[in-house]
Amino acid sequence: MNVRPLQDRVILKRIEEEETVRGGIIIPDSAREKQQEGEVVAVGSGKRLEDGTVLPLEVKAGDRVLFGKYSGTEIKLDGDEYLIVKEDEILGITHSAGADE
């Protein structure tokens, strides 16, 4: 992927949860609610403050994060779907890149 987000924006790839259904009922993708967890693919340089300094982002590539239901803008690159959000729209980090599992 040859896209770099600007300033305090982050590119996420949704993490698809595996669907296990009781009774053999399969819910089609179009009826399922979109997952609100994603993996950070790329981050911008940081948020520019009023005095001109740049505040680096807290998230980094590889982090798994939670984001709001109606957050960001969906884009499609090279056949894959991504979400561009501002760091403010990220609610929390569930697993940090490089952390022990």
In a domain, 1, yes or no: no
Q: What is the pLDDT of residues 16-60, one digit of tens each?
A: 765 555 666 666 655 556 678 999 999 999 999 999 999 999 999
- Residue 92 has a pLDDT of 93
What gap in Å lies between CA 38 and CA 19, rounded to an integer? 17
In a domain, 91, yes or no: yes
Q: What is the DSSP letter of 56?
A: -
- Residue 47 has a pLDDT of 93
CATH code, domain with 55: 2.30.33.40
- Residue 63 has a pLDDT of 95
In a domain, 22, yes or no: no
In a domain, 28, yes or no: no
Strand bridging mode 9-14 / 47-48: unpaired
Number of domains in the chain: 1
Q: What is the pLDDT of residues 50-99, one digit of tens each?
A: 999 999 999 999 999 999 988 999 999 889 999 999 999 999 999 877 76
Spatial CA neighbour of 88 closest among 50, 53, 52, 44? 44
Domain that holds residue 38: 9-16+33-95
In a domain, 50, yes or no: yes
What gap in Å lies between CA 97 and CA 77, rounded to an integer? 23
Handedness of CA 99, 68, 46, 52 (dihedral sign): negative
Give the count of alpha carbons within 13 A of 77, CB side only. 14
In a domain, 24, yes or no: no
In a domain, 79, yes or no: yes
